[in-house]
Every structure is written in structure tokens, then in C-alpha cells.
Structure 1
Amino acid sequence: MLDWLHLPVAASAHAGDIDRVLVLTHWLMVVLFAGWAAYLLYVLVRFR
């Protein structure tokens, strides 16, 4: 995922930790998006 985000070169000692948090945040957003999309499809089929 770090390659996809095109993050700049690490300029501090904490850059690796910040990058890790950023990647985890993006994975959480992907999981939440998939969950809400599945729920939306369920509701559309259930209550059509």
C-alpha cells in the first residue's frame, strides 16, 4: 500500500510510524466501505 500512496521520502525518525498509521487508516476505510456497500445491497434487496 505504501507504493500506491506515493509518500515522500522519510525525513524524520517518526516517519515510519506515521506512514504505518496512514496505511492502517486506509485499510480501515476500505473495510468500512465494503461493509457499508454490502449493507446497502442487502437493504436494497430486502426492502425493494
Structure 2
Amino acid sequence: YKYSEDRVVAVGNVVTSRGPGTAFEFALKLVELLVGEEKVKEISAPMILKL
């Protein structure tokens, strides 16, 4: 067990986040893991997100 202050953490086959306030970041992490960083950039470009 290792504690992390990160808002979204992916280790092995587990992805978790700090709570409802990180829902967009969590969703984008899932997209990154499933289809890659390029898709994350495409999806998040029109959004006003501070990542």
C-alpha cells in the first residue's frame, strides 16, 4: 500500500481518484489508458480544464 496525493492514480489494473471533483480528470485518464494520449488531447482541447 502506498498513499498518494495525486488527484488521479493508475497502478496496474486499478484506476482511482480523490472524489467527484476529479471526474473529468478520471474520465480522461480512462480514455488515455484505453485509446491513448492523442485522443485525450483531441477530447480535452475544446474544454476549459486545468490539468
Sort the TM-score into its range (normalised by shorter chain). Answer: 0.3 to 0.5
Between structures 1 and 2, the one with greater strand share: 2
> TM-score scaled by structure 2?
0.33
Larger-gyration structure (1/2): 1
Q: Which has the larger share of helix?
A: 1
Select the structure with the greater relative contact order (CA < 8 A; seq sep ≥ 6).
1
